[in-house]
């Protein structure tokens, strides 16, 4: 076996694997080769000067996950269920572009001030699932921590992979007004 | 006096170990690939949890990696493509080892996803790193031609 033959075999086998993978993904229309790109990737950042408990984002990144997470597949089964609140922490423009049905719009930048109001349609006993516009869940975790600490919501989870993974999993998207 | 071109005779144990290693390594990779292919979404999520790859690559990797595992495992069992199969599996395993090492260094707690969602959850850590190093050693043994180890031609058909 010459090195040239081995290289050729490696190239051919890689090509075969790519073709089979394409065929395999073709059988899963809900799983496209390239996941849909969210409209805004970096829309939400917490403002550090706002009142409330300070969250050390660096510490969050080092010690993830601070909140339990839920996969898109598991979360799909909870859409429309009683006592479930999806919280979209992206900015309003991204939310209007498409969001999980019945989700509550709570942009991360405004979350600390909005949480000071009593009008948020979240009951203390609700199960809350937060999600952001990027795979990095730090913004969703920040808001989840605020919800847990300020509203005494015990059952707060973060959607793994955020909005991109939700779309990749075939999750429904709506442009209708959400809960807030 | 030893003739210069006399075939080198290695212990019979090693001659048996090469085909056994091929079967074992191929079985491990096939067992790892099938659950991933049956549930690509779960594997895509597992890939995303590593926080290494960009989001647009998750689905493609979720389909490509198990296919590479299957193709390479089949190549390892075929004498004419054994070397390329071993190289492919070795490359995959090295990539897995690098990924595991990065998770250990970053201190992130993620599930392996190595055998899909069908297996019990397994956190990425030192035991997994050790297992992959052993797998790499197994691939090295599996890549050895049986004939060169002193076995007969029939044994080399494995």
Return the DSSP state at A99. B
Q: Would the CB atoms of B44 and A73 count as touching at under 8 Å?
A: no
User: ipTM exceeding 0.85?
Assistant: no
pLDDT of res. B151: 45
| Ranges of residues in chain A whose predicted pLDDT is under 50 | 38-64
Phi-psi category of residue B123: left, alpha or beta, with phi > 0 → left and psi -120 to 50 → alpha: beta
**Contacting B residues, span 98-157, partner chain A, CB-CB under 8 Å:** 107-109
Asked if residue A121 lies in contact with residue A179, where contact means CB atoms within 8 angstroms, the answer is yes
- Report mean pLDDT in 10-residue bins for chain B, 158 residues: 50 79 95 91 84 84 94 93 94 94 84 74 84 94 69 44
Contact B72 A16 (CB under 8 A): no
Query: So what's the pLDDT on residue B119?
Result: 59
Residue A30 has, within 13 A of its CA and on its CB side, a CA count of 15
Instruction: Give the pLDDT confidence score for residue B2 in this predicted structure.
Output: 46
Average pLDDT of the residues of chain A: 77
- A30–B contact, CB cutoff 8 A: yes
Q: Where are the domains of chain B?
A: 12-150
Side-chain-side CA neighbours of residue B43 (13 Å): 26
CATH architecture of A57-168: 3-Layer(aba) Sandwich (3.40)
Å from A121 to nearest chain B CA? 30
Where exactly are the structural domains of chain A?
A: 1-33, 57-168
Contacts of B45 in chain A (CB under 8 A): 71-73, 160-161, 165, 169
């Amino acid at each position: 076996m010459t090195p040239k033959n081995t290289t050729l075999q490696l190239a051919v086998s890689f090509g075969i694997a790519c073709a089979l993978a394409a065929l395999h993904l073709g059988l899963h229309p809900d799983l496209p080769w390239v996941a849909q790109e969210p409209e805004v990737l970096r829309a939400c950042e917490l403002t550090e000067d706002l009142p409330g408990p300070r969250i050390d984002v660096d510490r969050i990144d080092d010690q993830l996950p601070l909140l339990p997470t839920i996969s898109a597949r598991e979360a799909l089964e909870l859409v429309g269920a009683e006592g479930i609140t999806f919280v979209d922490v992206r900015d309003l423009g991204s939310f209007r572009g498409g969001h999980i049905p019945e989700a509550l719009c709570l942009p991360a930048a405004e979350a600390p001030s909005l949480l000071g109001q009593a009008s948020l349609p979240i009951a203390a006993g609700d199960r809350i699932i937060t999600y952001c516009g990027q795979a990095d869940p730090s913004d969703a975790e920040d808001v989840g921590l605020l919800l847990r600490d300020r509203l005494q919501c015990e059952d707060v989870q973060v959607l793994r992979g955020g909005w991109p993974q939700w779309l990749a999993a075939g999750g429904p998207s709506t442009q209708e007004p959400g809960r807030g | 006096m030893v003739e210069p071109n006399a075939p080198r005779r290695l212990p019979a144990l090693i001659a048996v170990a090469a085909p056994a290693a091929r079967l074992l390594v191929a079985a491990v990779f096939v067992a790892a690939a099938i659950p991933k292919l049956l549930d690509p979404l779960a594997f895509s999520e597992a890939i995303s949890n590593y926080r290494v790859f960009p989001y647009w690559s998750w689905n493609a990797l979720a389909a490509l990696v198990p296919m590479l595992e299957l193709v390479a495992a089949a190549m390892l069992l075929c004498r004419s493509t054994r070397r390329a199969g071993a190289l492919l599996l070795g490359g995959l395993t090295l990539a897995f080892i690098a990924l595991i090492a990065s998770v250990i260094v970053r201190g992130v707690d993620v599930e392996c996803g190595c055998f899909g969602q069908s297996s019990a959850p397994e956190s990425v850590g030192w035991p997994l790193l050790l297992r992959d190093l052993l797998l790499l050693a197994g691939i090295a043994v599996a890549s050895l031609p049986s004939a060169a180890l002193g076995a007969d031609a029939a044994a080399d058909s494995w």
